[in-house]
Amino acid sequence: MEHLNEAAEGAFIAHYNDKSKVLSLSHRLDAVEYDDALQEAKDWASKLPGVAKLVGDGVLFGPDRMVIETLAARARAWELLGSAEVADTLGVSTARVRQLEQRPDFPQPVATIAGGRIYRRDQIEEYAEHRPRTPGRPAKAQPEA
């Protein structure tokens, strides 16, 4: 995204996922009561100078999704999985996991290290619940006569 730096101006954390074309902006809210936090969350993006300008210019169209979490929720560590654990969770081989990683609907890794990609368990379990599956083995290609 060519406007990434402009959009990220004033955000606490900004991350752009090239593969999914999703811009994620994070911001800390300063509110004690839930209703105040909710209202501030609704308004915060428009207060970021870069985002406000890009929305005004028609480059961005506003949030598709908003997640509000408390500091206590944020402090809980994610359960992380490597390829072998992902394969076990999905009931497939690690070779099949590598194939699934190419699908746009497969969860993005939270990190890539020398040993491979690392995923969040909750995202893999959600994918396992909703992934499209066709029963049986894929048909073999017919030899040409």
Mean pLDDT of the chain: 77
Q: What element of type H or E holds 14?
A: strand 13-17
Place of tokens 């390829």: 83
Q: Write the CATH number for 92.
A: 1.10.1660.10
Q: How many CB atoms lie within 10 A of CB 89?
A: 16
Instruction: Report if residue 66 sits inside a domain.
Output: yes
Both structure tokens of 78: 């994610």
Mean pLDDT across 124-131 = 90
Mean pLDDT across 41-60 = 71
User: Is 9 found in the same domain as 69?
Assistant: yes
Q: pLDDT of 51-86, one tens digit each? A: 667 767 777 666 666 666 666 565 456 788 999 999
User: Is 71 found in the same domain as 42?
Assistant: yes
The DSSP string of 69-132 is --HHHHHSPPPEE-HHHHHHHHTS-HHHHHHHTTSTTSPPPSEEETTEEEEEHHHHHHHHHH--
User: Is 65 found in the same domain as 16?
Assistant: yes
Instruction: Report if residue 138 sits inside a domain.
Output: no
User: Is 26 found in the same domain as 66?
Assistant: yes
Instruction: Quote the domain boundaries for residue 44.
Output: 4-75
